[in-house]
Structure 1
């Protein structure tokens, strides 16, 4: 198979960067990869919070660790104060969980996830009373928000499969951050608004049956190089399963590029965002769903 060089031109999809700015007290801010902050005037919850973003050579050949300066700059920009109640990892690969214990330590939030995520927290010196291990189907309440965790699967192929059985103390090899438990996370707010965070393009058939969400934050990293039948099944078992009318694409950006530079798509050798958007646009048109791209740091409704 011939390797395709380059990457999709994200400027082709500028028209999809059209999420309206939040005007009420509730807003959602995109942090890159699968990172999101759901916040109102009093409380906030976060998924992943991956701000360090080490380079590809470091990930492949060296060891990775949270970058205090990058984490601090991101939290300062978010200006959450003491509102952050929980940081939930969608699974335990480094590009989702690496910074989560540090974010929890700095903000007073609780780290939430499976036992693998808990072991990353323990390796990051997070006290046990600031770690919450959840089970599939469990709903936890954090101020004005609820988070329901439903067991899911990682997008194939999972390059670091398995579970984390002992604390991971950084700096560590990227391979130490095994996937662990993957989650579909349903976020509810006291206003009645609901969202599904599908942080990776994997799914468990039927797992989301009976759940509902207004918006799906749909992870699409790696989706564009999978068979079209898989993409259509993914849509059916996530977006269609929860009856969403709006989809916001996440995990499409180059995770090795710092947040100090404009976001760009993952390269063709690992993904093809053009294919993903083409197929999802067809499905969305069929089902009466709108598809959007989020803007980094922008608080949207």
Structure 2
């Protein structure tokens, strides 16, 4: 009996040591990430706001503020950025962080907030932002169930389906159904909906994908494609030209060459864009810096943005396109200069 107890104790000790070692390994690996120093030449210059001229501001993941001095609207608006450890329990919008994010972008009033899909890292803060700014919450039935769960009135929500468009001042936004980047949690083919009003706090998994959107934004004769996730529907952009692509690249660093070829073809080449601006590459479990410093990239354990960036630079150079990074928080002109 005593020998059995001794063996059990040794086994328990060994198991504990293995768990500690695994935890230490993960902790170290989560700190290893691509260094972004030396990329200043890729960052677009700040362009002061000018009435009638489109300016965009970037706030991490795929949060983009579009503003022409008359009308402003926002994709996603994800500012809470709960740490990875928080995902073991329930999460909810971090109100002070949301208010600070709106202040950093100079937002007081919005015409609309448009989640690119309904995962928490896109849509969790959107209903609160709609309430704070008077914006329409626009999206799929899943997104609207987030609004209902947050107590938004039906008049402040707009459901859209693929092929619909929305006019906001001089902006026309067309909604094109896309796919999520294939991951351990999403195969990129089907999707799960939020089928009833969802109130926070809730488990991160409760923010189900819903419809994944590609947005074609038209403004004064120029077009911008916003691709929030590194997935695609073949030929979806055929016959839909764009001058600029905000290209979601999350997990693209873990994809093989064939997938990268297809993704580039279906977004950049089919649209004909001359400027490509990567988005959704940063570590959204870390808070955003207050200044103009770029956010931290995802750890190598999750993605390899360094590899993605090198690949995109090579593709852009070979096809005489521009590959640029967006400055954080600051307004910039998204359009490439006219060719001589």
What range is the shorter-chain TM-score in? over 0.9
Q: 1:67 aligned to 2:97? A: no
For the 8 Å contact 1:92–1:180, the answer to whether it is kept is: yes
For the 8 Å contact 2:105–2:330, the answer to whether it is kept is: no
- Determine the C-alpha separation between the residues in 1 that align with 2:314 and 2:258: 13
Equivalent residue number for residue 288 of structure 2 = 259
Say if 1:252 and 1:158 are closer, same or farther in 2 by CA, change over 3 A. same
TM-score after normalising by structure 1:
0.94
Q: 1:125 aligned to 2:158? A: no
Aligned counterpart in structure 2 of residue 33 of structure 1, from 58, 61, 73: 61
- Determine the C-alpha separation between the residues in 1 that align with 2:165 and 2:45: 28
For the 8 Å contact 1:44–1:145, the answer to whether it is kept is: no
Equivalent residue number for residue 81 of structure 1 = 108
1:216-295 alignment, distance < 5 Å: 216-260=245-289, 262=293, 263-295=295-327
Q: 1:150 aligned to 2:176? A: yes
5+ long unaligned stretches in structure 1: none
- Determine the C-alpha separation between the residues in 2 that align with 1:15 and 1:49: 27
Q: CA deviation at 1:156?
A: 0.6
Aligned counterpart in structure 1 of residue 233 of structure 2, from 184, 198, 204: 204
Equivalent residue number for residue 10 of structure 1 = 36
TM-score after normalising by structure 2:
0.84
5+ long unaligned stretches in structure 2: 1-24, 334-340
- Determine the C-alpha separation between the residues in 1 that align with 2:62 and 2:299: 17
- Determine the C-alpha separation between the residues in 2 that align with 1:258 and 1:182: 25
Aligned counterpart in structure 1 of residue 207 of structure 2, from 154, 158, 177: 177
Equivalent residue number for residue 55 of structure 1 = 83
- Determine the C-alpha separation between the residues in 2 that align with 1:116 and 1:174: 14
Q: CA deviation at 1:19?
A: 4.0
1:70-90 Cα distance to aligned partner (Å, 9 max, x none):
1111112222333x1011011
- Determine the C-alpha separation between the residues in 2 that align with 1:17 and 1:169: 38
- Determine the C-alpha separation between the residues in 1 that align with 2:45 and 2:301: 29
Q: CA deviation at 1:94?
A: 0.2
Equivalent residue number for residue 222 of structure 2 = 193
Q: CA deviation at 1:220?
A: 0.5
- Determine the C-alpha separation between the residues in 1 that align with 2:241 and 2:265: 13
Select the structure of larger CA radius of gyration.
2
